[in-house]
Amino acid sequence: MKARSVHPDNKHEAIILTPLQDITTIDRWLWALLLGLIGLGGYAYVRQLTLGMGVTGMNRPVYWGVYITNFVFFIGLAHSGTFISAILRLAGAEWRKPLTRAAEAITLFSLPFGVASIVVDMGRPERLLNVISHGRFQSPLLWDFTAVSLYLCSSVVFFYLSLLPDIALCRDRLTDVPAWQHRMYEILALGWQGRPEQFHRLERVLDGMAIFLAMLVVTVHTVVSWVFGMTIQPGWHTALIGPFFLLGAIFSGTAAVVIALAILRRVYHLEESLPLGLFNSLRKLLIVFTLGWLYMMVSEFLTIFYGNIPEEMEVFWQKFTGDFTWLFWAMTILVFVVPLLIFIFRGKDSIGWMVTASVLINVGMWLERFVVIVPTETRPRLLYELVQGTYRPTWVEAVITVSMFAGMFLLYAVFTRFFPIVPVWETAEEPGAEVPPVTRRRRRFGVRR
Amino acid sequence: MTIGELIGAFFTTPGPGGVVVILVLGLAGAIYVLLTRWILQGGQAEEGTMRRLR
């Protein structure tokens, strides 16, 4: 296949393609380290499979712990790509263009670990197929399985289609890379030739898929929340749980995009392709999400407090002053107080402060998932007077969690070494878009006297 | 069996849920393959005509 393509002009093309031409020693060491962590996770998982779920901290009545926290967190991270790419695309926000691929890659590489968290939590992974052979419609788990699978499939296609012209660019420009790498570009480019009609159709399909994905992004996280909300457990059985999960997902996802962009900008010297203005735009979005998250928190807890239903209050006080008080208040400070102060007083024009706030938000959002899930299980409805559960994660859960994050980082790092992380064709200069020279403008519009 | 019982059975019997999952994912996959082909074929007809004219 020797197809050559017409490529739009982009003055940053050479800088964007530079990381693809050489894998450094630091890369190899980083990949080895991450692979080592994944190996440790594999060992812990084999141990769990062999000895049973007793090696985890889960017990009666706490059946869901760190693994399900990871599941909700990873699915949440996966909303970054769709939010940035699809929703901002529909809104016509042009500033999103340089960061779309970095955001979509987070979606693509975090979703599989969300799914894997469920498999790890099952203890008997072969029973996953029961969803197909014995699936019942009334089960929210089936809705979850369908929605997440469809989201994964659609995200892969959306990502791949928007990558297609850039794969063709790699095929045509990167002729001095190893033969297998060039062959990979040839196969993945599917004979793309960059005809105007191809670009026109690509834009139409991406616009259409953006609408579909915007709908899916809402559906997926709402359905994830319904796995909890459709039970009648205190703290979970509320209509607010869907929007609460959705907002949290987009919030942590957008913060993750800030972290990824800052690292890419620094490591690959993409200062011109990823200008400071992008971070300022994301800062404004994050301020809105931080306040939205506070609104959700207040709505949730104020309603519970005024209802004063005994079983609800049992969980409520567990969070505010009970066993989970440290986690709850740490989460509030990390997700809301400190980031908001940083965004308002320090974040503008400062990538370092933006990254600090974003890391805090993601740590806080993981804690938030934990605090939503576990306290309810330690004080379940009807049983809380008889059984007061406790939960302390073991090293097996900790190691498997670390290995999952390592896996996500590894996939991301490897991807950035083989494919352009800034979309070259989407950020290309539009022909005729430049401002005409001053003399020509004067001739056309006249001179102000 | 009344219609109500039939609909009820569809929701509660083990099995049909899995069929729906396969149908949804299969249909999405087929649509995406067709869309990709449609994009790649863009401008092919005009190019063929131009070549013939030359």
Asked if A196's CB is within 8 angstroms of B43's CB, the reply is yes
Asked if A131's CB is within 8 angstroms of B43's CB, the reply is no
Q: Which of A195, A207, A219, A220 to mutate to test the interface with B (most CBs of B within 10 A)?
A: A195
Nearest CA of chain A to the CA of B8: how many Å? Answer: 10
Alpha-carbon distance A214 to A207, whole Å? Answer: 11
Q: Which residues of chain B make contact with A133, given a CB cutoff of 8 A?
A: 14-15, 18
The mean pLDDT value for A388-398 works out to 92
pLDDT band at A302 (very low <50, low <70, confident <90, very high): very high
Please work out, in degrees rounded to the nearest 5, the angle formed at the alpha carbon of residue A303 by the alpha carbons of A297 and A309: 125
Q: Which residues of chain B make contact with A136, given a CB cutoff of 8 A?
A: 11-14, 16-17
User: Residue A435 pLDDT more than 60?
Assistant: no
Domain definitions of chain A by residue range: 26-425
- Res A449: pLDDT: 46
Which of B17, B36, B44 has its CB closest to that of A139?
B17
User: Residue A384 pLDDT more than 70?
Assistant: no
User: Residue A27 pLDDT more than 50?
Assistant: yes
Q: What is the pLDDT of residues A227-279, one digit of tens each?
A: 899 988 999 999 999 999 999 999 999 999 999 999 999 999 999 889 999 99
> A178 or A445: whose pLDDT is higher?
A178
pLDDT band at A8 (very low <50, low <70, confident <90, very high): confident
- Res B51: pLDDT: 65
Alpha-carbon distance A64 to A66, whole Å? Answer: 7
CATH class entry, domain A26-425: mainly alpha
Alpha-carbon distance A227 to A71, whole Å? Answer: 12
The mean pLDDT value for A335-362 works out to 94
